[in-house]
Structure 1
């Protein structure tokens, strides 16, 4: 493989970095998570060094040298600008003052001495889902992705290209306000997001929302539930397992999340009219019955016109744990080949 030219994708998270390697003809050389500590809580300098270690580690794993790398793709949680400058107000993962307004893309580029192409993590995962799902037709299709995690990430892809927006914050789907009439139960308080918004999608469809908004309400309706005796943060993590087993209260919690996503996709249908709607994250990294029920509930509550329903697809983000790094690699591949959009995948 001494004559192979590649790009590297690095997915930066709150606790770990995951890296992958993609050849210029579209073959991923890594088929597993390659994780190392991200060190983001130690500040920008430590975090950039951690990303450099992730870069070196995945090259060592694949037996490649640094001079075979044409470019690096990087994704991080947002909000951040299109060029990888962390929001001046910081973010959940980048909470220390030193991160506010920090150019994380530029810092990694200087450290590695290679071009670094940036997307936020939702956009990167959306790009990967789009290209895997559509294959050779990817550059003739559009999609919207919602990824449920600690928050609610997402991405819009039009003709194979991520829509970044003027400030790089397009596709922040978690902070779209949705009608709550068909989402909340009678008498349920309007949920408040960690960002301060009331009634946005993330205030309902996220792990944080389960802890802060949904479980506090539903446990008043099911006061004898086993989760009533657990600390809120732990209960929020345990509720998915109850949902997989068909527990009534847990299904109420996740049905609300699915209805909120359906309301979001209804808005998307009238703004972008995409060919596909993707759902990813821990909420669908579950047993098949629960996963299928959740996606079907999202579909049921997405209001489409007949013409849209005939052409739209609802699907899961594939290989969610690796989707960010792979999407970042695809973005780097586009830059490396001097194309406006990534070419179709040969394999995945």
Structure 2
């Protein structure tokens, strides 16, 4: 066996693990040195974040062990681990000192999530927030071998508005780790809201940012109440729980309900205006949309993406080269994007 064969055998023998931490569950994947995923399904366990950091770290360790058992990979083959969590958190994975939606207990405030998991697993851990991880996955899937020379912007509509900016295949994190917080960019409201419709206020306290329109929270707090005030006989007005009513809007949109379609068209306009800002700031190769609109019937998600494109103002030169697409495999996108980040951290060291 020659030296080249020995190197190839060594590279093929190691893997990285991606761990996606969420408010209710963790899921995991394994990526080998050639960039091949060894699992094509959700491998998940309860995240137990509501029980505090110590329990949550053990839950992640259990998920790590589960995915290794599921794939038949020996622990000794793991070179690094990619971790993503909801934010806000620093670039190094320290949860905000003011807490977060999924980390509301005081024990989480300022907690070094990445460092604690690294100490528990005794392996290098690479951190991204969940929006950045999903953005990185979408970028790699779309561009393949060209990922390292391409750029993209992703907007992921969930409880809030997450996303990420990828440049030359790498997540743009910024000095404080808060780059890519696309939901808190202010956008023009004229022509987006109806005449006389109040300007929504985001949970961050800012009026008229992207998240104040394009998020499930925006539907619950602003868009649906406004529409129901004008359509009090609509079926959704009969539902007592605002949270439940907001979650049902998507199914009504899939059925072509005019009220629901008005809500989603406003969200599509907000994303188009966000991408217009991106076009003038980073001029990316691709724009990705993810979130609940991805997990819908094909006719609806295609309609929604078409509305986003229609409301994204690009120069003629940009329109010729830019592409628009949906974030694929959304349930697994975080873990897979985290695995790609871990793989890059290993290969960048020359291993």
Q: TM-score range by the shorter chain?
A: over 0.9
Query: Whose radius of gyration is greater, 1 or 2?
Result: 2
Listed as ranges, the gaps of 5+ residues in structure 1 are 341-348
Structure 1 residue ranges, 4+ long, deviating more than 3 angstroms after superposition: none
- Structure 2 residue 189 is the aligned partner of structure 1 residue 188: no
Q: Which residue, out of 297, 322, 325, partners 2:332?
A: 322
2-side partners of 1:42 and 1:183: how far apart?
A: 41
2:294–2:330: 8 Å Cα contact kept in structure 1?
A: no
1-side partners of 2:299 and 2:61: how far apart?
A: 40
Secondary structure at the aligned position of 1:57 is classed as helix
Partner of 2:346: 336
The structural deviation recorded for 1:317 is: 0.4
2-side partners of 1:235 and 1:52: how far apart?
A: 36
Q: Which residue, out of 142, 150, 154, partners 1:141?
A: 150
Q: Which residue, out of 77, 87, 91, partners 2:96?
A: 87
The structural deviation recorded for 1:339 is: 5.3
Listed as ranges, the gaps of 5+ residues in structure 2 are 1-8
- Structure 2 residue 268 is the aligned partner of structure 1 residue 271: no
- Structure 2 residue 184 is the aligned partner of structure 1 residue 175: yes
Secondary structure at the aligned position of 1:101 is classed as coil
Q: List aligned pairs for 1:188-207, cutoff 5 A.
A: 188-207=197-216
2-side partners of 1:269 and 1:166: how far apart?
A: 22
> Could you say what the CA RMSD is over the residues aligned between the two structures, in angstroms?
1.3
- Structure 2 residue 28 is the aligned partner of structure 1 residue 32: no
1:240–1:250: 8 Å Cα contact kept in structure 2?
A: yes
2-side partners of 1:12 and 1:50: how far apart?
A: 10
1-side partners of 2:294 and 2:192: how far apart?
A: 19
Secondary structure at the aligned position of 2:39 is classed as coil
1-side partners of 2:36 and 2:294: how far apart?
A: 26
The structural deviation recorded for 1:221 is: 1.5
Partner of 2:242: 232
Q: TM-score, normalised by structure 1?
A: 0.96
- Structure 2 residue 257 is the aligned partner of structure 1 residue 247: yes
Partner of 2:5: none
Partner of 1:215: 224
1:284–1:294: 8 Å Cα contact kept in structure 2?
A: no
1-side partners of 2:85 and 2:146: how far apart?
A: 27
Q: TM-score, normalised by structure 2?
A: 0.95
Q: Which residue, out of 268, 281, 284, partners 2:291?
A: 281
Q: List aligned pairs for 1:271-310, cutoff 5 A.
A: 271-310=281-320
Secondary structure at the aligned position of 1:215 is classed as helix
How many aligned residue pairs are there?
340
Q: Which has the larger displacement, 184-193 or 115-124?
A: 184-193
Output one character per residue of 1:310-346: Cα deviation in whole Å (capped at 9) or x when no partner: 1110100011110100000000001122259xxxxxx
Secondary structure at the aligned position of 1:71 is classed as strand
Q: Which residue, out of 70, 94, 104, partners 2:79?
A: 70
Q: List aligned pairs for 1:12-51, cutoff 5 A.
A: 12-51=21-60
Output one character per residue of 1:176-202: Cα deviation in whole Å (capped at 9) or x when no partner: 111111211111111011121111111
